[in-house]
Each structure stands twice: as structure tokens, then as C-alpha cells.
Structure 1
Amino acid sequence: MTDTNKTVHAYHPQTGEYLGPTMADPSPLQPGVWLLPAYSTEQQPPVTAERQAAIFSNGSWSILPDWRAVKLWSTDTAQPVQARLGDTPDSLRATLLEPCEFPAWDGKGWAINKSAQAAALAQKTNAELKQRLADAYAARRPLEDAESLGIASAAELDKLAAWKRYCVELSRLPDLAMWPRLVETDWPKQPA
């Protein structure tokens, strides 16, 4: 009695990566001959460890590193890196460690890049100052028009003076020792 099925090993047609066992059928015309499915072999694939893949190429199996399912970060740019079959963290200049905010790779781990952190804070605070000044000048404009036309009421003149004072206080903020490390209470109070 002959076997009606034989287990063989399938591999990916482009990468050669081991896909798993599959079945070969006996030839109906030649006894003892097995018909192997396309992209399969009778050779047993090697046992692989974690982050390794068995690859069939040029008639034999080999083992390649397989970091494709692992989230890696470039130590040069701190951006995510996608590994391909055969890549390693070393070959990609990457790490498993997720970067912190304002990252700088020190050879062993991520450290905070103090100059980048300070530059980002200065940019954010300058943008906030610019927006507050723009809002203040927009609020002042109709009051200044009323003043220049000589039709401003006493209440409008008081309001205009308050907005001018507010603009001066805003413009002096960069001269403070704590600039740009301001908290909300450091900002002058906007006129009502």
C-alpha cells in the first residue's frame, strides 16, 4: 500500500520565506514519484529562533534575521524604521527604544536634546506672543480710528489706553529673565 499524500514545505515565490507545510500528491503515471506544488521542496527547513526566518534560495535553506514585526526607531532621526527581511537594528542604525520628546541618541539610549527643547519652547512662546499682539492690535484699531476722528467717548479712550498698556506689557516680556519659560500667570491680563 502506498501513501496518498506526502508533506513538503512551501516557500514564498519572491522572498523564499518558509510559509509552512503543504501536501504533494503521487504521480498517477509514475509510481513512487511525487508531484510537488509550485514553490515547495522536500527539504526540511531549519529550526529558527525568535526574529529569524528560514529562506529557501538556490536549492537550499538558510536563516536570515527577521525584524519586520518589531517597531524600530532610527538613532539618527528618531523616526520609525521598517525593517526588511535580513535587516537588523545594527544594519539600520536603529533601536527598540522609543524616543522621548526632543530626542538625541547618546550611543546607549535616548537623552533630551536641550538645545532643540529650548528652541521649540522659544518658537512656541514667540508664536503665542505674536498672536496675542495681533489680537490686541485688532482690538485697538477701531478705538484708534475713533480717537483720530475726534469722536471717541471717554470710555473708549480709557479702553484704548488699557489696550496700549497691554501691548507695551506684552512687548516687554522677552526682556524678562524667565523668557521664554512663561506660565499662564506670567502673561499680562487682557483688557476686558
Structure 2
Amino acid sequence: MFVHQYDSLTGQYTGSRLADPDPQNADRWLIPAFATDVPMPEVPRNAYPFFIDGAWLLLPDYRGQRLYRISDGSPAEIGIAGIGPEQVDLTEHARPSADHTWNGNEWALDPELAKARERAEALAEFEKHMDAARVHTIGMADAQATGLLSVGEAAVFKAWSAYQLALVRVVNGQNFPGEREWPAEPDESAVIAEAEAAEARRLEEEAQRAAEEESRFAPVEVEEVPADASETSSETDAGGRPDDEPPESEPAADEPAV
């Protein structure tokens, strides 16, 4: 005959063995302390037999299994039999994502956590873009303020500054982070080429305007008249005679002209 032994304190089954015959009575078997001949029940998965109050009870047994804390989804284990996951705030089910919380029966998506995670990810993207932009403008702000940058360098500085401002406007948008479209980074080669071409046009236009102004206000050359010629002209009348010379007398009507 088999007898089944159990722990003296908890009643947890510890093993089975053949009973020893009673040396004083061949029809009897010796049953040691903390053992019983009560037949063992069928033991399903995640259960373990305990002998309590003269009967076998099946209590939870999750030893060696990975469980998860319902507080944050972190992994945990139970080291002893007789305790179920729900008794120690654990579950057999892994947390689907950081956006899920335990609602008492299962993991459920938490809209507030999902929104916070999305915002955190979007802000991380924003900082990544801003860091990349700052690399291109290090030490240029003071140089720009004092006019030390070349035309191309100043254009590049302004382009990256505008890019950073556009990033900030995305973050400050009403629908951020749900609706966000990051601006494209400036093409420095194109920016420099455009700035230098614009500067060349400006200089050409200034030179043209200066030439026009110069020709507009240039002095007009006047031909000088000799002093004796002007005096002679004033002393001669319209007929080519001097003013003090009397006109010739006209011939009479019956007198032939010579």
C-alpha cells in the first residue's frame, strides 16, 4: 500500500512511498506521521495537492513560470506552491505595450498613456532635428551680428535659422503631435549659389544706377563766343550797317536807279 506524505505546517504533498507492514498485525500497515492513505487526486496543470483537514485540496502552483506584475508589466515568478498570481498582483499575460494598463481583469489600452508616449516620441524627433541644425550654426550668431560672414555664409546661417523656427512652429501647432510634418533641411550648396547670384545681380543693378545718375548730372559744355565778335554784332543793325551810319537815300520815282 502507498502512503502519501505532506508537510507538517502547510500540508503540501512531499512524496509517496510504500507503507511498512505492522509487525504485530499482518493485516495492517504502518502509516507514519504526516502521511495518509487517502488516494491522491488527479493533478491538472498549475495545481498542486495539499492535505488539509483530512482531504486533498488542489491549490495553485505557478512555480517556474514567467508571470507579470500588473502594476507595470515587468516579469516576475512565484517561488512556492499554493499561491495564485492574482493573490500577489501578478498575471500570466504579458503586457502588450507601455500604453496598456491592468483594468482588473485584463490589459487594456490607456488613451492617456498612448497620447503621452506619442508626444514623447515626437519631442524626441524634434530634439534630434534641432541638434542637427545647431551643428550647422555653431559660432555663427555673433559673426552674423557683427557682419563677419560672407554672403554665402550669411545665407546658410539664415536658412538654418529659418529651419529651426519651422521646427518650433510644428511643435507649437494645435494638432501636435497627431499631425506633424517636419520641414526639409536646407541644401547649403543651393542656398550659397542662390545668395551669390542675388548679390551679383544687386551689385550689377547698383553699378547701372550709379552710371545713370552720373550721366544725368554731368555738366553741359557751352561754346564760348569771342568778346570782339559780340561787340561787332551789337553795333551792326539788321541790314549789316553800323548803327551810326545813316541809310542810303532812295532814288526818286522818275530817276533811274544806278
Name the structure 2 match of 1:117: 114
Name the structure 1 match of 2:102: 105
List gaps (5 residues or longer) in structure 1. Answer: 1-5, 33-39
Cα deviation for residue 153 of structure 1 reads 1.5
Name the structure 1 match of 2:164: 167
Cα deviation for residue 11 of structure 1 reads 7.3
The residue identity in structure 2 corresponding to 1:80 is P
Q: Please say if 1:91 is aligned against 2:87.
A: yes
Name the structure 2 match of 1:128: 125
Greater relative contact order (CA < 8 Å, ≥ 6 in sequence): 1
Name the structure 2 match of 1:49: 44
List gaps (5 residues or longer) in structure 2. Answer: 27-33, 188-258
The residue identity in structure 1 corresponding to 2:74 is Q
- 2:69 corresponds, among 67, 74, 92, to 74
Distance 1:155 1:62 in 2: 85
**Looking at CA atoms only, which structure, 1 or 2, has the larger radius of gyration?**
2
Q: Percent identity?
A: 25
Give the TM-score taking structure 1 as reference length: 0.67
Q: Count how many residue pairs are aligned between Structure 1 and Structure 2.
A: 182
Judging changes above 3 Å, is the alpha-carbon distance between structure 1 residues 9 and 132 closer, same or farther for their aligned structure 2 residues?
Answer: same
> In the alignment, is the contact (CA less than 8 A) between 2:2 and 2:37 conserved in 1?
no
* SS class of match (1:152): coil
> In the alignment, is the contact (CA less than 8 A) between 1:8 and 1:21 conserved in 2?
yes
Distance 1:146 1:98 in 2: 56
Distance 1:163 1:116 in 2: 34
Matches within 5 A, 1:128-167: 128-167=125-164
